[in-house]
Structure 1
Amino acid sequence: MAKRKTHAKDDNLMATNKKARHDYKISDTVEAGLVLTGTEIKSVRDRRVNLKDGYAQIRNGEAWLMNIHISEYDHGNQFNHDPLRNRKLLLHKKQIQRLGQATKDKGITIVPLKVYIKNGFAKVLLGVAEGKHEYDKRESIKKRDQQRQIDRVLKHY
């Protein structure tokens, strides 16, 4: 019997922020490491992460990930972590400076797009984003629907 092929990238993906690509135009992406406690990494590996309202900030030359919900670990004790605490991001100094310069402009923010495990470490893919207007969102939905319709027609041929 043939074994099913699994993609390593899909196995390592812990959470995605689907709403980010709908609400924002992503101009640049950066991969950053996450500073997590023991119970937090266990919850991340259980895929108990919510990126929906998250964002990143540059403060005092350090990058911080805010408003990300990592649920408490089920088998943790009284030393379990706070689910909404701010988490430090691990980036090079030049990357932090570049992100800081990008967010100086009005309407530009840094949003988390994905959380995944790479070589045993938790990583987050950050996107430099500019908010979309309502008409931009409608245009994106229209293009997506047209592409689906084309794919459906081509599938039958």
Structure 2
Amino acid sequence: MSDKAPAPKKAGGKSKLMLIVVALASIGGGASIPMVMAKGSTTEAGHGDEKKKKSGSEHAAINVPFGDVCVNLADERMSRYLRLKIILKVEGVTDEKIGVEHLATFKPVMKNWLISHLAGKSLKEISGTMGVKKIQREILEKFEEIMTAEQEAHGHSKVHMHLKEILFEEYVVQ
């Protein structure tokens, strides 16, 4: 018989792996976090498909490109500008092409409002997470209002899009 006690089992093998993955993801900007969650959770891409199957919804939200907007900010001391690249997450259409075509009827009014609205903002108002979230919320509310008014004005269109979320592909302040 040996005097040595059996080596204890290593606990937390999965915990260490998860810690390493989270550390690597945070170094890389966090882009891969949704794809490597704990066992039993779904990825971002698969999550929407699963919800669609459960609810039986024909019209899941799709991403429709809105485009770029660049405005000078209302800053007295320096000349600063904000450049955005916007994606609209919409419900009511199943094809991006149909969404883009339908959006074309609202886009001039939306873009006009957006430029004048953002041009009145100061650097302080658009900075930080709170500033970005506030701008997303303001855009969502006004764009939804514009879409509703335009859809009602044009009668019974075949397509009735509903704006679900505003996504920023780019948000640059200089």
* Coarse TM-score class (shorter-chain normalised): under 0.3
TM-score (norm 1): 0.22
More relative contact order, 1 or 2 (CA 8 Å, 6+ apart): 1
TM-score (norm 2): 0.21
The structure having more radius of gyration, on CA atoms, is 2
Question: Of Structure 1 and Structure 2, which has the larger fraction of its residues in strand?
Answer: 1
Question: Of Structure 1 and Structure 2, which has the larger fraction of its residues in helix?
Answer: 2
